[in-house]
Structure 1
């Protein structure tokens, strides 16, 4: 089931190479003043946790990096910290810079060589875009990893809570929320069509990580689920909610994989609270070719 997955006795195989994948919307590592806490503790903890994670592939949305030390020292030098500890290659898809040279965008880190890479533009290059990397596994197999961030719902959590808490709240907030939801849905439908075309053109087994900003019964999810297997729906148990906020049961972050893969296991890391999204980690096993 898309919403509630029930796989307590998920069966796996022992043949074929594995790929451990971590994906997360890291909310620019809380660099903005309104997101910071004392001593930048959440920023430091989030970058340290990602850097120490044993995943082979790390896909990050809302990524932020400061290549040169600033008044905050090297706290936000995320590329160096995450790449250096486990000798990962990095593909940073940069969308914009700030006045101190800080870089915003998305990133793919890999413990294995990246042979080719590219950016997928949705109309124009913004924080909402896609990227891909061809990764060469030790087994000599090549796989294509996609990382994507679709259009935000552009709806404030407090407005949503107010709208369903009372009739007055619904009257005051409901119409505006509906308009914003519609605009986001139209934008995401165009973006997912672009992304799907690139997935269908892949010559290699595919793993897709992304913040879809959409529900399990949406057009965006449908287009991916028609072509790929959703990791949580295949091997998870429970709702798999990834939104770290007051709205329950929202799984807007996902990992998908082509049928070339066996989903060994998947987990939403609800113990990692530094962003408004919980990370997802999964292990995939590449199925042997049938001769």
Structure 2
């Protein structure tokens, strides 16, 4: 009887895994509750691993079922828990392309963020500027083209990260304030930018994407995308309160659910726009983004079906990028097209100035690309 019950639970777990994987393919603007089923996939995969161990000890032929599921869903497991103890096998035919991506939270320009004497702002801009990356993609970028009476030259970030470091800047401005300061996205490149453009997500949002076609020294042209997708507009404290107590869940739960739904739907439409744009690109693609979504989401799934995720391909561990009280949250990502070999990937936990940790990766083209 016990074995029969355990076998039924194993079959139900396998069905759960398959259902959750299928749910990741459903756009939230069509059936938004499917997103919750997809988000449950890590739990289902964990249970499947548990049943594998159980049957290996009890009756090994039955273990073949959860083992087959583990093998077939290994790429999905790697999304949330990457395991590469031996490191990647990389062809060194080409010079590496080093990429840094970071949501810099407008360099903490607001008084409540920047600290005394602009300490965190200065430290963040200095670290980004002096980073050895060949290409830098920044989300929630901020720049003051001219010195101001209040801030001096602290926030002349285009000059400090770009011209002073030998990088060509491309800033996609989503908002400009009364002093001419620029908010938006930015790409900086040590290689020539031969073409550039922006990808709007609609008139009702400042979130958007940008791209730059970059000519590498060996003559290949690549396309670098930088994007910031729709935020959930959910305060961290509200989320913590909602799961800390029944009273908190009752007070905050419904409002959080509404905002969560709006964010899911918006990001799904935005990633569809990005996917169509990428499908028309004939160059090898590098993609950096603050997705504001988890690895087990429609947003991530649409990208992972077409591109390699740098952390999932060569990283280790969870790779959390959110610098806050919510644990194990990875919403900042780098992706690469199939033409690339990913040499390494790192989350910079030593850089605490923003609510996002920077990420860096090194890429090499697998073979000569025909232009």
Residue equivalent to 1:13:
91
Confirm whether residue 29 of structure 1 aligns to residue 103 of structure 2. no
For residues 271-290 of structure 1, the aligned pairs below 5 Å read 271-289=350-368
Q: Which deviates the most, 14-23 or 216-225?
A: 14-23
1:207-261 per-residue CA deviation (whole Å, 9 max, x = no partner) reads 0000000000100000000000100000000100000000000000000000000
Residue equivalent to 1:212:
291
Q: Which deviates the most, 11-20 or 199-208?
A: 11-20
Normalising by structure 2, we get a TM-score of: 0.77
Residue equivalent to 1:63:
141
Contact 2:220-2:369 within 8 A present in 1 as well: no
Residue equivalent to 1:232:
311
Larger Rg: 2
1:14 deviates by 1.7
Contact 1:127-1:149 within 8 A present in 2 as well: no
1:290 deviates by 9.0
Contact 1:149-1:212 within 8 A present in 2 as well: yes
Between the aligned partners of 1:203 and 1:125, the Cα distance in structure 2 is: 30
Between the aligned partners of 2:109 and 2:146, the Cα distance in structure 1 is: 15
Match of 1:82 among 154, 158, 161: 161
Between the aligned partners of 1:258 and 1:125, the Cα distance in structure 2 is: 30
Q: Which deviates the most, 83-92 or 158-167?
A: 83-92
Residue equivalent to 2:258:
179
For residues 45-64 of structure 1, the aligned pairs below 5 Å read 45-64=123-142
Between the aligned partners of 1:88 and 1:258, the Cα distance in structure 2 is: 24
1:133-178 per-residue CA deviation (whole Å, 9 max, x = no partner) reads 0000001000000000000011000000011111111111111111
Q: Which deviates the most, 55-64 or 80-89?
A: 80-89
Between the aligned partners of 2:183 and 2:310, the Cα distance in structure 1 is: 28
Q: 1:125 to 1:51 in 2, by over 3 A?
A: farther
Residue equivalent to 2:20:
none
For residues 99-114 of structure 1, the aligned pairs below 5 Å read 99-114=178-193
Higher RCO (CA-CA < 8 Å; seq separation 6+):
1
Misfit runs of 4+, over 3 Å: none
1:125 deviates by 7.4
More strand by share: 1
Normalising by structure 1, we get a TM-score of: 0.98
Unaligned runs of 5+ in 1: none
Unaligned runs of 5+ in 2: 1-77
Match of 1:98 among 167, 171, 177: 177
Match of 1:128 among 194, 198, 207: 207
State the secondary structure of the residue aligned to 1:2: helix
1:289 deviates by 4.0
